[in-house]
Amino acid sequence: MTLNWKSFLNDGPQFLQDCNYKETKIYIQYSCDFNEEEAYQRKVGLHAAFIGLVACFIYSYVIYHTRKSAAINYKIWDMNTVTAADFTVEVGIPPIIWRKWNRRNIKDTQSFKNFFRDQLQRQVDELPPVLDNPATNTNADIACVIFAYSNRKLIKALIKRGKCLIAGKIHNILESEERINHLVSDHRDDFIRPVKAYVSFNTQEGFERATAHCGTSRNIWG
């Protein structure tokens, strides 16, 4: 139903009675007048918002492109640069390995490094080859083994004593010496037991074999 606004004002009750239905809808159209200054300010705001969005998009794209380029450049550098890390895996040493070596019939005849190396070499040799080149997939010899120890508290105490020596604080030096002796007497067995080993192989085959069949270079024992 369409109503004429002037007629509605002149004869309102009659139109109100005609519009007394649930389905009746009344549409009112009106115009808004803006002065030129207000319209100009709205246009400036719209342009500024658009420029801001474009700048954010460009900035995000530049950051994304920079990160991707840096990752690709690092891969290229890593492929062109051969370091010991390319052939080295980090191996956790279970306490049972240390306890097994501590048996007198092993400890008296073989050092722990040689014992650990022999045990690890045997496990790696039993794994199937990984690389496709038959000329290089047979050698998986271990080049060297470096141990890591859980002795952070002792190292911090030694550093503190060194600082006291440099500063000439005699009283603090005596306290540091007492702290070090206490740590050594209470935790000697923990300090001398290796907890991790960094194992370097002679070839890429050894490294790949040690990691691919164990899921991670941190769990070579399986």
Average pLDDT (17-34) is: 62
Q: Which residues of 106-126 are buried (b: 16+ CB within 10 A; e: fewer)?
A: eeeeeebeebbbeebbeebee
Please tell me the distance from the alpha carbon of residue 92 to that of residue 148, in angstroms, as a whole number: 10
Of 4-18, 61-75, 199-213, which range is least confident? 4-18
117-141: pLDDT as tens digits? 888 888 888 888 887 765 655 678 8
**pLDDT of 56:** 92
**pLDDT of 116:** 87
Please tell me the distance from the alpha carbon of residue 76 to that of residue 70, in angstroms, as a whole number: 10
Looking at per-residue pLDDT, the higher value among 22 and 144 belongs to 144
Average pLDDT (37-65) is: 87
**pLDDT of 33:** 67
Amino acid at position 184, single letter: V
Q: Indicate if the pLDDT at residue 68 is higher than 70.
A: yes
| pLDDT band with cut points at 50, 70 and 90 for residue 216 | very low
Q: Give Cα 208 to chain centroid, integer Å.
A: 22
pLDDT more than 70, % of the chain: 76
* Average pLDDT in the chain: 78
**pLDDT of 190:** 86
158-184: pLDDT as tens digits? 898 888 888 888 788 888 888 889 888
Q: Indicate if the pLDDT at residue 220 is higher than 50.
A: no
Side-chain-side CA neighbours of residue 190 (13 Å): 10
Helix (H) or strand (E) run with residue 200 in it: strand 194-201
**pLDDT of 222:** 42
**pLDDT of 15:** 53
